[in-house]
Each structure stands twice: as C-alpha cells, then as structure tokens.
A and B are shown apart, each in its own frame.
Chain A
Amino acid sequence: MTEIPPEADARPAVQRPVERGRATAGAGRLAALLVSPALLVLTIVVLYPTLMALKESLYGPKGLDPETGFISATEPFVGLRNYAEIFGEAGARFWNAFWNTTFFTVVTVGLETVIGVAMALIMHQAFRGRALVRAGILVPWAVPTAISGLLWRWVFNSDGVANALLGRQILWTTEGFHAKVAVIVAEVWKTAPFIGLLVLAGLQMIPKEVYEAARMDGAGPARRFWHITLPLVKPALLVAVLFRCMDALRMFDLPYILVGAQKHSVETLSMLTQNEASNVRFGPASAYAVILFLYVFLIALAFVRLLGTDLVGGAGAAGGRRRGGLFRRREATA
C-alpha cells in the first residue's frame, strides 16, 4: 500500500509538456481517483485496527487497588512484556494453543486437499445425476460453521450417532486426543468441498485434447493424473490450499462450539485471544492477536514466494510464476 503514493505520482506528471506524458498523467490521475476509495477503506478497516492492536499489546492489564477495592482507571505501559511472557511461565497455555493451531492446520488442510481433489474428480466425470452429486457435495460448505459445530456436537454426543456407529462409548467432547479427532472430522467435512469446488474449476480449464494425446501415447489413468491433471490444476489447487491454511490458522467457532471453551486439547490461538479479551486483559489479548497475524502473514508470504501461488489469477500461467504473483499484484493495484 505504501509504495504507491498516487497523488505524488500524478502531480509532477501533469506539468510535463510532452503530449504523451499528459496522456499517461491523465490515466494515472484517473487510476488514483478510482483506487483511492479502496485505499481509504483499506486504511480504515485494516491498517488502523492493526496499528491499534500493536499499540494495545504494549499495555498490561489494569490493577486492583486492595485499599479501595476498585480497578485502576488506566492500563500500565509494559512495553514488550506481554510478548516476553510467552517465553516465561505463563507461556505454557500459549504454546499449547500455538501447537494446536498448527496441528489442526496441517492435518485438516492435508486431508481436505486429498478429499477435495477426489471430490473434484468425481464431480468432473460425466454421469447421470451429476448435478445432484455436485449439489450434495457442496452442501456442507453452505452450512454456517457455528451451525455445523452444533450439528457435530449432536453427532459426537455420548448417546450420539458416532458412538452408535462405532459400537462403543467414546466421550468425544471431553479433554484428550479424541476431542482433536472430533474437530478434525467436522472441519474436514465442512471445508473439503471448498477445495473440491476450486479444483473442479481448474479441471474444467484443461483441454480434452491433452488427455486424448496422452491416451494415444499409452498413459494409464494414474500417469495421466500425475503428469497432466495435477500439474495443470496446480495453480487453482495452490490458491485453494492457501485460502484454507489462512482460514484454519484462525479457527475459532468450530472447536469452541463442538468441544467447548477452555478445553486445552483443542484451544487455538483465536480462542486464547478471545478468552484473554473476555477477562478484560486487552493487552495480552492484543499481543496474541498480533502474533497470530504475523503467523498467518508469514504462511501467506511463504506460499506466494516459494510455491508461486498466483493470487490474482489470469495471465501468464506458464513461466516466471515464481515471483510473478507478487509483482502482478502490485501492478494490479497501481
């Protein structure tokens, strides 16, 4: 955002007497005019809250005056202590939440990718009742997360369907690894269709002739999948996986509703942040939120730089994609 000062660019350009320069200046001014509302909105809804959270994270919780029994009116400035405490004694809960978040992200996104691609391959086949199957697969994605949390809590109840199917009593919503499993099952059920949908869109872009040629050359279904389908669908798949990763990293409502608040086996960073804020400790809560923000940002950056995810889509799927994503994004905003 900062590298595009639109007005500054536009003004000197206007004074240039060359005719061609004037034309670009006019276009630049128009571009600045068109983009500035978006930039303004972004500043208000993204930049300002982020800076406020950064500032708030430098303050500690308000103290209780034992004499009067009242909480002091101001928050003490503690500098980086909220961050430092993560490495101290109070850090156990943070690291637990951090590993839970990471674990959920890796496992659910991994499973979702495999299942989602399988779903897309099924949806892509031509067969009777395809529309029905497509609609059926997409239903979970349409259900709001909070509702699907309630739904799965019912399934994982002590007298619920899950135990009836398994034929033994597992108390899913208590602490323990089984609680993690419950969250993973519900999350994968809900979001695999999203990957399926994006991959399906990618599959439909692949021309039929490529497959025909491969078949002529004697490539079996497995080879065709590995050497044609997967590479050609990769851009779409990577975008889907990136979106899912960012979503999974800030997972909150599903474990909160399905298993419950304060459950250490499923507590994620978002839940920890919410818990601190609800106990009127906004400083530490902001610190956790900032760390989560950085974590998500780093993952997104890694995707863009290492895997060459094309966030904007469109032009130049082949070659130079390694850094293309980032550069194209700048061009698109400028």
Chain B
Amino acid sequence: MGKRLAAVIGTGQTHHTSKRLDVSIAGLCREAAERALADAGLDWPDVDAVVVGKAPDLFEGVMMPELHLADALGATGKPMIRVHTAGSVGGSTANVAASLVQGGVHRRVLAVAFEKQSESNAMWALSILPPFSMPVGAGAGGYFAPHVRSYIRRSGAPEHIGAMVAVKDRRNGARNPYAHLKQPDITLESVLASQVLWDPIRYDETCPSSDGACAVVIGDESAAGGSAAWIHATAMRTEPTTFAGRDQVNPQAGRDAAAALWREAGITDPLSEVDAAEIYVPFSWFEPMWLENLGFAAEGQGWKITESGDTALDGRLPVNPSGGVLSSNPIGASGMLRFAEAAMQVTGKAGEHQVDGARTALGHAYGGGSQYFSMWVVGTRKPGER
C-alpha cells in the first residue's frame, strides 16, 4: 500500500507575451498541451484524465472556463477537474495531477494551467472591494510592497539586492525562447533608474502581465520511459490572510510546506542538495525572502546568498534559470511553469538555460496574500535511488 511512483513525462508551454490576439483561450491551452504530449510521445487518447488550473475566473471574465475547454483539451468523455488556489494554482494543479497517479487512480494525467490576461484586467479583478475587507485597490504590488519594506528593515539588506535579482532573472529570461521579456542588456544601473511603482518596488523589479499556458503530463512507473523527472515530494499549505500574529514576511505556511517537502524528499540540507530552484518571484525582493522561507538560508540571511552570486545560473544554487515570473507571468500558469521548468532541468531539456548537471530541482509557487503555498521536488533518479 501507499503512494505509487509518479514522474513528469512531458512538459510544454506557449511563447509568453502581452497579448495573444491570434488564439482563443482554448487555442492557447491547446498549444501548451500539444507540446507536452509531443514531449511525452503520447497522443490525446493516451490521456486518462485532465486537471485544469488557473487563477480567478474574473481575470478573463469567463465563469469556470474549463467547461468550454473540454473539447480543446481532449477531455470529452473523461474525468476533468478544475483547481483554483490563487497564484499558487499552477503548482497545486501539478500536485493534484501527481496525486491522481500516486493514488493509483490513473496512469497518465494531463495538467494544463493558463492565464490570458489580455482578455480582461487582472489589476481590476484584484481591486474589487468586498464588504468588510480592507481596501487596497492597488493590485498585487500595492499589497506586497509593505512586506518588502518590512523584509529590508528586518534583515538590513542593502538596497540593490532587489535590482540584482531583476538583472539576473531578465538575463536568464533572454536565454529562454518562451520567455515574455528578454533583456540581455539590462544592468543594475538601469533597474535602479527605473520608476518606483510601490516604494521600494521599481518598475523593472515587477513581473509583466502575460498571456500564456503551461502543461505537464504525469505518468506512473509503467508510463515513464527513458527521460522522466521523478516526483520526490509534493507539499501544499494554507494560512489565513490576516490576523494579528501573522508574519507576512516569512509566513508559517511556507515554512511548514518547505519542512514537509524536504522531509518527504529526504533532503536535510537544501542549499547543498538542490541543484536548481524555480521559485515564484513576481517582485524581485521575493527571491531573498523565499530563500529564507524555504530554508535555503537562515532568517535575515537570504539576501547574502543573492548578493554573493550564488543564485546566478552558474552559482551554487541557480534560482530561476528560466527567467522566472519576472520574465513571464501568465498568473494561473506561472506556478506550473516553475514546476515544469524544474522538471526540464533534471531531464536536461532546458536548452540555453540548462543548469549543468542538475539532478534535483525545486518547483515553488505561492498565492493570495502570501498564504497559499505549493511546491515539489523532482529528480533525475527515482525516489530512494541516490
């Protein structure tokens, strides 16, 4: 009894861009799904079930869009489930798909996550004022800027750390053919010269609004062929948005999820045992914040790993070799992109942004007011084989 082995046997994504006016939502999702199936060497009838993830329906203005996507995703006549866990949803969707295989329910599951932000206005959708809630009215940046300020104050990090992350991720993105923003010539000076949007977050330190989709095919042991990213651990944790005792800079839910993740994966020292990390960094300062939250660094020390260059593509722990959320942000898909890019790293399929010799990789996503977390660890070898 117990959990069956599951592996990522195919990944696919669209080219991410501001406005995909040439395709419908269904067409966008279809592109990613077809690439994932081709990567897995499978055809539509080989898929047993489909899991769809995306962030709020208000982002496109379609209620439960998976219903009309059934045909495009080859789900007609099959089981389909729709996951929504805020910005972490892409990761949660992959985790749910993994559980369908790990629970012995299906052999091959297609998971698709997307956001077509150009269909509506995410800033508006995030700024609706429900009764009894504190109005922010400034989208995600306005919500997170105080957390960043608090992190800087608490850790004593120098001001340029956020800009360093932006330079690194945008230059990494220039190596990724699917990235929305490709800025090989970006510099620390140019980032620091860009406009402050939400103090201390500058324009060049924020994620773009992207149209895009990502898909992964997850298979059981018999479905996994030669090249597979074995799923060593998955974790999800949630805490409430606000209460007096909540640490929004270093949330307990993220720490708990990471602790459960490393335990399940058999990892005792993440910094030395993880070869590549795709971490959900929509605003640049979240790299050092999440390095601490994930246990790669002690509290207050995350920025030192960033400053030393250890998170660069050729560093000790390359973070976001794909360019990350700072280079492409189709919100619902952004988490799955992290998970898929981690899988690409351990299967050696990351092309120009491949980390040499990556054998163990982290995929991470967070959502809501830093309260929803999903993550996985994938590896070249099967769990238990070292």
Do A and B originate from a single complex?
A: no
Chain A residues proximal to chain B, CB less than 8 Å: none
